[in-house]
C-alpha cells in the first residue's frame, strides 16, 4: 500500500519551454502533497505544500509563477515548470500524506522526475 | 530553531558488520520522527515513523529507536543490498505536516 507514482520519470527539454510533472497517489487519497527538489549529493529541499482544492504554499525563495502547482483532486497534483532554463535542471520528487488510516503523519514519496533543460 | 543532524556522513562496513546511524534533533514539539531509505536516482522509501521517546520499531535487519534528543537506526548483519543513503526527518507539531530533513548518511556495505 501507499504507492505514489510520478510521470514522466525523466524529461529533456529546450530552454524556454514548459514541462508538466504529474504526481498520483495510486491506492490512497492524499490530503496534502509536497514537492521537493534535490541536487546531487544533497538532501531534499521542500519547494511547496499543496492541499486539495487550495492554493499551494511556496517556500521562501521559490518562484510561484515559475513553478505552478495544481492539486486538482485527492489523488493528483501537478508541477509545471514554466519557461524552463538550464538552472532548473534537477531531480524533482513529490510526496503525499494519506487522508485517513494509520500513518497519516507519514509522507510517501514518488520515484522522482529527472529534468534536464538544454 | 528546528534542526536535524545526521552522523556519520558516510559509513563503510563489511557484510555482516553491525552498526548504528545517528539522528540528533531539536524541535519545538515533536509530531513524529521519520526514517527513509534512498537509492541513487530514486525517491525516498519509507522505513519507520516514531512518535514518542522509548518507542522502537523493527523491519528485517533494521531497528529504529527514539529518545527525546536523538534517534538511532541500528543495522544488524547488513548485506550489500542495504547500501543506500538513509534519511532522517522530524515533523514539528506546529507545521503543516512539513518535515525538517537531515543531510543523510550514505551507507556502503562491502561483500
pLDDT digits (tens, 9 = 90+) for B72-107: 999 999 999 999 999 999 999 887 788 999 999 999
pLDDT digits (tens, 9 = 90+) for A3-60: 999 999 999 999 999 999 999 999 999 989 999 999 988 889 999 999 887 889 999 9
pLDDT digits (tens, 9 = 90+) for A51-88: 887 889 999 999 999 999 998 899 999 999 999 999 99
Of A91, A93, A105, the CB nearest to B31: A105
Q: Which residues pair with B57 in a beta bridge?
A: B64
Q: Which residues pair with A50 in a beta bridge?
A: A33
- pLDDT tier, A104 (very low <50, low <70, confident <90, very high otherwise): confident
Interchain CB distance below 8 Å, B43 and A49: no
Interchain CB distance below 8 Å, B98 and A49: yes
Question: How many angstroms separate the CA of residue A114 from the nearest CA in chain B?
Answer: 8
pLDDT digits (tens, 9 = 90+) for B24-73: 999 988 999 999 999 999 999 999 999 999 999 999 999 999 999 999 99
DSSP strands (E only) in chain A: 4-7, 10-13, 19-25, 30-38, 45-51, 57-58, 67-73, 76-81, 90-98, 108-109, 113-117
Q: How distant, in Å, are the alpha carbons of B11, B61, B76, B100 from that of A66?
A: 38, 43, 46, 24
Q: How distant, in Å, are the alpha carbons of A14, A98, B84 from that of B12?
A: 40, 35, 11
Q: CA B58 to CA B97: how far, in whole Å? A: 24
Interchain CB distance below 8 Å, A44 and B45: no
CB < 8 Å to A105, chain B:
31-32, 49, 51, 91, 97
Question: How many angstroms separate the CA of residue B35 from the nearest CA in chain A?
Answer: 10
Of A2, A32, A109, the CB nearest to B43: A109
Q: CA A5 to CA A26: how far, in whole Å? A: 7
Q: In terms of CA atoms, which chain B residue is nearest residue A91?
A: B41
- As a whole number, the mean pLDDT across chain A is 92
Interchain CB distance below 8 Å, B45 and A109: yes
Q: Which residues pair with B7 in a beta bridge?
A: B22
- What confidence score (pLDDT) does residue A102 get? 55
Which of B43, B48, B50, B101 to substitute to test the interface with A, most A CBs within 10 Å? B43
Residue A4 cell numbers, joined: 505514489
Amino acid at each position: 500500500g501507499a504507492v505514489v507514482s510520478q510521470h514522466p520519470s525523466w524529461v529533456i527539454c529546450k530552454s524556454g519551454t514548459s514541462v508538466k510533472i504529474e504526481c498520483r497517489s495510486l491506492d490512497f487519497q492524499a490530503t496534502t502533497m509536497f514537492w521537493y527538489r534535490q541536487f546531487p549529493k544533497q538532501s531534499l529541499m521542500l519547494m511547496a505544500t499543496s492541499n486539495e482544492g487550495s492554493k499551494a504554499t511556496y517556500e521562501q525563495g521559490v518562484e510561484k509563477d515559475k513553478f505552478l502547482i495544481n492539486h486538482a483532486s485527492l489523488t493528483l497534483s501537478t508541477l509545471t515548470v514554466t519557461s524552463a532554463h538550464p538552472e532548473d535542471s534537477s531531480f524533482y520528487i513529490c510526496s503525499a500524506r494519506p487522508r485517513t488510516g494509520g500513518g497519516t503523519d507519514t509522507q510517501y514519496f514518488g520515484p522522482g522526475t529527472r529534468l534536464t533543460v538544454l | 530553531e528546528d534542526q536535524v543532524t545526521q552522523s556519520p556522513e558516510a559509513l563503510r562496513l563489511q557484510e555482516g558488520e553491525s552498526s548504528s546511524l545517528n539522528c540528533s534533533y531539536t524541535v519545538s514539539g515533536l509530531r513524529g520522527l521519520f526514517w527513509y531509505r534512498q537509492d541513487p536516482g530514486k525517491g525516498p522509501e519509507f522505513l519507520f515513523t516514531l512518535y514518542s521517546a522509548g518507542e522502537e520499531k523493527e523491519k528485517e535487519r533494521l531497528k529504529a529507536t527514539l529518545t527525546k534528543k536523538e534517534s538511532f537506526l541500528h543495522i544488524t548483519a547488513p548485506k550489500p543490498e542495504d547500501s543506500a543513503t538513509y534519511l532522517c526527518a522530524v515533523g514539528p507539531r506546529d507545521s503543516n505536516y512539513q518535515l525538517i530533513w537531515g543531510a543523510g548518511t550514505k551507507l556502503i556495505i562491502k561483500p
